[in-house]
Structure 1
Amino acid sequence: MRKTTTTYHTCIHRLRSKTAITNEVLIVTSYDYFLQKFDLALLLKNYQEVILIPQSTDDDFLLNQEVSPLLDKFEKIHLVTNPQYDSRYHVIYDLVVRKNKSIRINTVYDFCENILKKVYIPHDIREINPNINSLLNFGRRVRYPKKIIDVSISATLFLFSLPLWILSYLRIKMESPGPVFYFQERVGMDNKNFGCIKFRSMRLDAEINGASFSRKKDERIFSYGSFMRASRIDELPQIINIFRRDISLIGPRPERPVFTETFDETIPYYNIRHNVKPGITGYAQVMYPYGAGVRDARHKLMYDLYYIKNWSIQLELKIIMLTIWVILGRKGL
């Protein structure tokens, strides 16, 4: 495993890799919020150092006095920038040329999609990502193989999981008298609502004060309900939703109408995820840790849009395998 150290050079955030093979530095001028720990760990496998340049009220000092000396020890510079909101890449480019160094420049849009395998979602709702086609959806080339995967795997999963259905029925009745199944309104394809079926894992009065995101160590969850959530057993009844053609096995996670209304207004391109069927599991669920709220919804959308835009059988199977790994490792909900 590669070891990294983090140091702070005035305002500049620098991450160094002790084992990277290439003598190349990655400079990101508009990293705002899209780089996560997982992303940085991936980048440090390929770059000797990652330099994150924040916004500044004195760019002349920051670039010429702080960034310029850092370029001397590297022969190759990879610059990632947001051309719509940050013009400092012109200054950095001139500095590199004067030092006779090699430089390649990527927009943050291309960098996210090609390197980090997610689609950049602008922080400002007025900003446009030129790589996003507002008409993203699944054509026949995708729908037919997905349907075959949905039906074959779901039928097999139902047969093998039948003992868990029986066990869950009995345990829920013992620990929390009331309905075994929980029907919750979710937003599906084309913004049409449907009843998402789950094994009930919370007390009957869980939302007496209104809808809210579930959270880790949620006091509203009874004992076996906690086990079902950790092992994803509570998701099994959604197989019925697949047979009803409400959802797919793989796709964006369906959210509740009360939340999607907020996300549609605050997160650019959020409504694109409704161009396809939601899924029991998905690329965002296996790539992004558990979270709730607008910030996490924005990050998850980056992965959902990448999945929609770059769908392949290989990606579909990869998500299935990662889901199994997540379940076995009990790494979230």
Structure 2
Amino acid sequence: MRRIYTADRTTIHRLRSKTATTDEVLIITSYDYFLQKFDLAALLRKYKEITLIPQSTGDDYLLNHAVSPLLDKFEKIHLVTNPQYDSRYHVIYELVVKRNKSIKISTVYDFCETTLKKIYIPENVTETNPNIDQNIQFGKRVRYPKKIIDVTISFVLLALSFPIWLFSYLRIKMQSPGPAFFYQERVGMNNKSFNCIKFRSMRLDAETNGAIFSRKRDSRVFSYGAFMRVSRIDELPQIINVFKRDISLIGPRPERPVFTETFDETIPYYNMRHNVKPGITGYAQVMYPYGAGVYDARHKLMYDLFYIKNWSLILELKIIFRTAVVIFGRKGR
């Protein structure tokens, strides 16, 4: 579970900080599912207090028990709201102004992108994010430097890792009879399928009962396969996919068709991640804990779309650096 607290969403939650850099309080009245523990940890370094108010809270209780006590302690209020589902920011604004306090109001869409560095993806398929351009993709300004980075780093990785390829090939053959390489259909740019190449880390009968998400401590994984998954060695053969121009070094992680069909139906804007080439690693992989299923796919998409919309050379290099930290710190799957 990745909930930020275990209580239900009918309770007002307050989190207090001892290390905040400002005397400002953050009030969030929009649906708070987009917040993760690491988001709150980062926010508590800035705000003295964070108050999460569920949508079910009535106006009287909102004013008397949620907002008024904060105005007794703080001069500055930062209110984050979802204007499509919550109009109570008018009520809060009037109270704050009446008490001669300072207030800043942000939409959840702007707050996510500017502060949390991810794009808000609605949990409700009927909701839209006005900050999202569904036709966004990489232009020449992005494609050319990415191609240079892909080719250069891939050649270096192939040269440096070649002894690991040989060693892994032999260990796989010793521990699990069968092919050392595993070919799996994945969805690439413009929804075109390709065969993703990896070192095989699971038994040959791993999917006799159908396709399922891999998970931590997966019983289908043999011992050296588990090591490869943690160290990301099993991903090395995807360098071949980079040379074949199926994928990029950095980009959204390519998923299997059986899963993308479900995600397209249940997650708003999911198909936008196919506007660019997928990657061996990506912003979502280094920012979000390992997980599987619709809930995690939605949260990963927040980072994937931020990467597509806000690509920069600095962001690309930061992802490469953080991937190295994950690999050498053995914080993989």
Query: What is the TM-score normalised by the length of structure 1?
Result: 0.96
Q: Distance in 1 between matches of 2:25 and 2:52?
A: 11
TM-superposed CA distance for 1:331, in Å, is 1.4
The residue type equivalent to 2:207 in the other structure is E
**Matches for 1:33-44 after TM superposition, within 5 Å:** 33-44=33-44
TM-superposed CA distance for 1:58, in Å, is 2.8
**Matches for 1:114-263 after TM superposition, within 5 Å:** 114-263=114-263
1:96 aligns with 96
Q: Distance in 2 between matches of 1:257 and 1:7?
A: 36
CA distance 1:7–1:186, shift in 2 (3 Å): closer
Query: Counterpart of 2:331 in 1: which secondary structure?
Result: coil
What are the ranges of 5 or more consecutive residues in structure 2 without an aligned counterpart? Answer: 1-5
Q: Distance in 1 between matches of 2:263 and 2:63?
A: 36
| 1:27 is aligned to 2:27 | yes
Q: Which moved more, 1:132-141 or 1:24-33?
A: 24-33
Q: Distance in 2 between matches of 1:260 and 1:21?
A: 42
CA deviations over 1:54-109 (Å, ceiling 9, x no partner): 12253322333332222211010000000011011111111101110000110000
Q: Which moved more, 1:98-107 or 1:61-70?
A: 61-70
* CA root-mean-square deviation: 1.5
TM-superposed CA distance for 1:7, in Å, is 11
Q: Distance in 2 between matches of 1:74 and 1:244?
A: 58
Q: Contact 2:232 / 2:332 at 8 angstroms: preserved in 1?
A: no
Q: Distance in 1 between matches of 2:269 and 2:80?
A: 22
Q: Which moved more, 1:211-220 or 1:31-40?
A: 31-40
Q: Which moved more, 1:295-304 or 1:119-128?
A: 119-128
Q: Contact 1:289 / 1:332 at 8 angstroms: preserved in 2?
A: no
| 1:107 is aligned to 2:107 | yes
CA deviations over 1:275-314 (Å, ceiling 9, x no partner): 0000000000000000000000000000000000000000
Q: Distance in 2 between matches of 1:282 and 1:7?
A: 32
CA distance 1:7–1:211, shift in 2 (3 Å): closer
| Number of residue pairs aligned between Structure 1 and Structure 2 | 327
TM-superposed CA distance for 1:328, in Å, is 1.3
Q: Distance in 1 between matches of 2:20 and 2:215?
A: 38
Q: Contact 1:56 / 1:62 at 8 angstroms: preserved in 2?
A: no
Query: What is the TM-score normalised by the length of structure 2?
Result: 0.96
TM-superposed CA distance for 1:270, in Å, is 0.3
